[in-house]
Structure 1
């Protein structure tokens, strides 16, 4: 089995020095993938960028996909940390849909703008091992749960199945912001598409 394509199990670091080494490898992978893409982002390049030997990389990660999973998990942790306060505020404060939907879409835009090249590699070029698919599903599920709670608190929301409505809001918001921020069309203004998406979702949810 090629070391680039083995199982996605990885050794969990315990000592502080080991944790620092793993962090350096994951950060190097982010830079290598963003610059070279997934296929050309080899473990040799990652090791060189991290300033460690290839043996050290394989000491903690059995293959490139295991590094990818760690990198995506780190990315998702950051996304959840950024979005959780917003989603919690929507549920607790329950602003009108005309206010809540734009806030949600703008937060998604800002997340996608942080590392567009890396984001493209992680979610368009790279394969999705089973562990990664499960983690993505859990993350989307948490967002849908929060949006469902928000929609249930708003009397102006018309669709009777609030969870189905929340799934549509999350998927449409993610798809629009991803495609227009990560892969902008020539001359396209992402903000104009976001505004039209706000209109689309608000009209779907409220009929206004």
Structure 2
């Protein structure tokens, strides 16, 4: 483990219910503080105050705010249900557009909790080697599931399915990340409809 990875590692992994609840309070408070004040002004003192604990108690769990933000990013990755959606529809007789819509909607839903926090995580969250490896693994799992779906669905006409799977995964993930995390609002229903039309049309061409 590198010095950077050690620096953002949580100090304490709760084993008791009370300790786990304290950790969750810290993470919830941090999410609100970062979204409200931004990362630079989202100090550990503010996080501790919002969580209604002492700053010393916070430091028992996390050595600094980078470690808190890294944990929030990990929790965000844990909440991603896109691959589950794809696996559910691998051998489904549902129309291609229905499957694509469910996939797109799942990716959008995974980013709606707090767009401001998402922007901070994307731009400022520290990336340890372990975290980057996990992100890469999740990306390739999604691509693999998309590849199997494209192989088995009769409506798919695109010839290069390997490249198509990578294009679909990247297009949906990056578009949703950028448009929902960016300042200013976007109509998520219109975003969903346009993405579905674009992806389904490409796969049937």
TM-score strictly above 0.5: yes
Rounded to whole Å, the distance in 1 between the matches of 2:73 and 2:184 is: 26
Q: Is the 8 A contact 2:111 2:180 kept in 1?
A: yes
Structure 1 residue 76: Cα displacement:
1.8
Rounded to whole Å, the distance in 1 between the matches of 2:102 and 2:65 is: 36
- Pair 1:192–1:58, CA change in 2 (3 A): same
Rounded to whole Å, the distance in 2 between the matches of 1:122 and 1:142 is: 22
Q: Which has the higher helix share?
A: 1
Structure 1 residue 33: Cα displacement:
1.0
**Structure 2 unmatched runs, 5+:** none
**Structure 1 unmatched runs, 5+:** none
- Pair 1:50–1:170, CA change in 2 (3 A): same
TM-score by length of 1: 0.82
Q: After the TM superposition, which residues 1-208 of structure 1 pair with which residues of structure 2 at under 5 Å, given as runs?
A: 7-10=7-10, 11-80=12-81, 83-183=82-182, 189-207=187-205
1:6-44 deviations in whole A, cap 9, x for unaligned? 712222121222212111111111111111112221111
Q: Give the CA RMSD over aligned residues.
A: 2.4
User: SS where residue 170 of structure 2 aligns?
Assistant: helix
Structure 1 residue 126: Cα displacement:
3.0
Rounded to whole Å, the distance in 2 between the matches of 1:9 and 1:15 is: 19
Rounded to whole Å, the distance in 1 between the matches of 2:159 and 2:168 is: 14
Rounded to whole Å, the distance in 1 between the matches of 2:139 and 2:196 is: 20
- Pair 1:19–1:185, CA change in 2 (3 A): closer
1:103-134 deviations in whole A, cap 9, x for unaligned? 21122222222221221111134333333322
Rounded to whole Å, the distance in 1 between the matches of 2:104 and 2:183 is: 16
